[in-house]
Structure 1
Amino acid sequence: MEIIISILAGILFATAIYNLLQKQLLRIIIGTVLLSHGAHLFILTMGELKRAKPPILIEGIKDYVDPLPQALILTSIVISFGITSLLLVLTYRAIKENKTDDMAQLRGEEHEYE
């Protein structure tokens, strides 16, 4: 199970890097979202996946899941939601002011290299 989730996290990382290197602002935001989701899966995998085990210590249970990765992922989800919201608002404002979402034009580059 860890192998499958590790491969999925790697695919998410690769897709995120591809989107981060694009010219359009919306694709860059999608890249940051995918990067955070890949990080969530990676943290979950490093915490050892155990099925049907409680994340807390209860009397009589000897095998339990470490709750730290779950707490880190929950915190990371909230932070990535805030960052995504901020990026979407900044992108909307930049597109409204500059009438473009192309990063080369927003940087002020006159020549377009393709």
Structure 2
Amino acid sequence: MTASLTLVIVAAVLFGTGITVMLERSLTRVLIGFLLVGNGVNLFMFTMAGAPGLAPILGEGVDPDAISDPLPQAFVLTAIVINLGITAFMLALIYRSWWLAQLGERGDLIVDEDEMAEDAEETADLYRSSEEDDRAVQAVLEASDEDGGRG
């Protein structure tokens, strides 16, 4: 077996295992399968890049056929970054799912009784202050009416 055939076999095994694991219902297994598929695809792209060559800088006296293609390397780096972002998103989904499962029947609502009491006091203060404002405005209007608007 040559090195490239070995890489192709390893990539195929990673891809197949990842697809198999992704078909499970558990979000953790879906994440693991996604990581395996991502690594398998990266290995396929790396293998398809061809034989390694010189740096992709064309200078004088350099044969263009001896230069390696930089595009597959850029694709692999981009795929790694995208894979990292999707992995972070899926980890957040897994954590949120676990958190909601731990809450049980209560669901997403967590009641804080002290906070509710403070909110009720603030609301009562707002009603009191608005009533005082209404009385003050009414008193000014009545005084204005008594003066005949000459105020």
Range of TM-score over shorter length: 0.7 to 0.9
Pair 1:22-2:24 in alignment: yes
Higher Rg? 2
Residue number in structure 2 paired with 1:82: 85
Aligned partners of 2:21 and 2:57: how far apart in 1? 38
Residue number in structure 1 paired with 2:49: 47
Deviation at 1:13, TM superposition (A): 0.5
How big is the alpha-carbon RMSD for the aligned residues of Structure 1 and Structure 2? 1.3
Deviation at 1:23, TM superposition (A): 2.5
What is the percent sequence identity of the aligned residues?
Answer: 41
More helix by share: 2
Is contact 1:56-1:67 (8 Å) kept? no
Aligned partners of 2:22 and 2:87: how far apart in 1? 14
Residue number in structure 1 paired with 2:101: 98
Structure 2 stretches of 5 or more lacking a match? 103-151
Aligned partners of 1:76 and 1:18: how far apart in 2? 21
Structure 1 stretches of 5 or more lacking a match? 100-114
Aligned partners of 1:67 and 1:89: how far apart in 2? 34
Deviation at 1:54, TM superposition (A): 1.7
33, 36, 56: which one pairs with 1:34?
Answer: 36
Deviation at 1:24, TM superposition (A): 1.8
Aligned partners of 2:99 and 2:43: how far apart in 1? 35
Give TM-score, length-normalised by structure 2: 0.61
Q: Which has the higher contact order (CA 8 A, sep 6+)?
A: 1
Residues 64-110 of structure 1, C-alpha deviation per residue, up to 9 Å, x if partnerless?
Answer: 100000001111110110000000011100111024xxxxxxxxxxx
